[in-house]
Amino acid sequence: MSGRGLMAVMCACVALVVGMVAAINLAVPMLAASGLHPTASGLVWIVDTYVIVFACLVIPGGAAGDRFGRKGVLLTGMVLFAAGALLSAIAPNVAVVLAGRAVTGVGAAAVLPNTLAVLLHAVPAERRGATIAIWASMTGIGGVVGNLGGGAVLSSGSWRWLFAAAAVIALVLTATVARVAPVSSRHDHRLDPLGAALLVAASVALLVGIVQGPEAGWGSAVVIGGFACSALLFAAWTLVELKVEQPLLDPRLLRIPALRSACLGMTAVFFGMFALFYVNASFLQYGMGFDVVQTGLGILPLTVPIILGARHVGRLSQRVGLDATIALAFLFVGGGLLGLSASDAQTSYAGYATWLVVTGIGVALALPALSGVIAGSLPPAQAGVGTGMQATTREFGSALGVAVIGTVLTSRFVAALPPDIRADHDPHTVAQALAVTGPDRAPEVVAAFVTAADAGLRVTGWSVLVLGALVLLESLLSRRRLPEPA
């Protein structure tokens, strides 16, 4: 197969694993009303299990490709992705869905870094820059593919078809990769299984503390234990990483101020984006009455500035400066989320879409600027580390955004329900409330959800603005700490 054919196959693999992060949000209302009867926290875990495993294992996935062969690890990842998706598709209960999502996340972590490694091995040196740019663009376009493709598949009326379709596509791509991908040389890259296990465990414990709060109570043993275990596990992970010869992610790198602030900024941007994705699907379906296909199309205004504007960010940054570009990025992202938080069932879609465009402009400004800072903070020999840090911070921010907005959504929804519904039935999701009340009470339930969604977006918007201010403050302070030229 030609170089273009190989590029197309690798990009399709990237679009699949990234698209699943976005597509699952469209299925949240279906899952909530399904025979699985998930709790509010269960819905968040169905979304976040894949994302957090993906985030924590993407760097080990790349290291495994170096050690055992990129093509082989890529194929293993695709098979795991398909197996996990199939397990979720046939799951009889929430626990099995979560197991399938975890397996799928392991597969995605093996796929993403090795698609790029396979491409870079196959192309001549002069084409590597263009290859990286095309591959990186697919990590953004994948979200669009996930919304459009997910909406089309879910129009069948069952969330199970989403996972079944992902499994079939993954198997087709596996066969194609086996036929066209070249075999590359292996490198003696030591793995860090203990570091990877501690990072996953610490991240899951943190999310347990956040997600279980509304249902278990913020003073409950499970919530306090989750936060305490997370702190201990992150401390243990740091100690392990400082001692191993080839760490999963060297904590000492975060001593570099520019790298530290850019990683925080990347986390904050994806925190806002995926908090929006999580609530957007339910808002458009419950609040505006969209069907699942319309909902998949409904997020597209956010992506237009990202697709069309990213290539112009470099010139803007040269004209107004990097700090001003990043400041504008966070103002647009945070301001767009705050604008969306003022929406209700009477808001026109045109008004809603306008705020999506505003948010998208901020994302379009942020991603190239922050990616450039991360890449520029490390020597060329550590380019792979920079790519891994970008992937990890992006996916970790996504998982954290879903967890936080899901928590706020649940708390505010329960508080906004009419007292008699809350006292008699104690529902924690819209689907639960609609199932135990008659059609005549549906407007009150939807109104409570819209109130909760507005509160969640408001919290998210202010959080992004505060985190953006911290990023800029770190950048300014680090510049002041630099020694004066002789």
Tell me what pLDDT residue 384 has: 63
- The yes-or-no answer to whether 1-191 and 255-486 have a common fold is yes
Average pLDDT value for residue range 34-63 = 89
Is 419 a residue whose pLDDT tops 50?
yes
Higher pLDDT, 212 or 93: 93
Q: Tell me the percentage of the chain whose pLDDT exceeds 90.
A: 43
Is 230 a residue whose pLDDT tops 80?
yes
pLDDT tier at 383, thresholds 50, 70, 90: low
Tell me what pLDDT residue 46 has: 94
Tell me what pLDDT residue 1 has: 52
Fold of 255-486: Growth Hormone; Chain: A; (1.20.1250)
Is 135 a residue whose pLDDT tops 90?
no
pLDDT tens digits for 161-200?
999 999 999 999 999 999 988 887 666 667 788 888 898 8
Lowest mean pLDDT among 360-369, 404-413, 421-430, 437-446: 421-430
- Measured from the Cβ of residue 331, the count of other Cβ atoms closer than 10 Å reads 17
**Domain boundaries, given as residue ranges, for the chain:** 1-191, 193-245, 255-486
pLDDT tens digits for 232-265?
999 999 999 998 887 877 888 888 888 889 899 9
Higher pLDDT, 200 or 126: 200
- For all residues of the chain together, what is the average pLDDT? 87
CATH of span 1-191 = 1.20.1250.20
Is 290 a residue whose pLDDT tops 70?
yes
Is 26 a residue whose pLDDT tops 80?
yes
Tell me what pLDDT residue 484 has: 45
Tell me what pLDDT residue 480 has: 65
CA distance 253 to 236: 17
Lowest mean pLDDT among 193-202, 290-299, 374-383, 429-438: 374-383
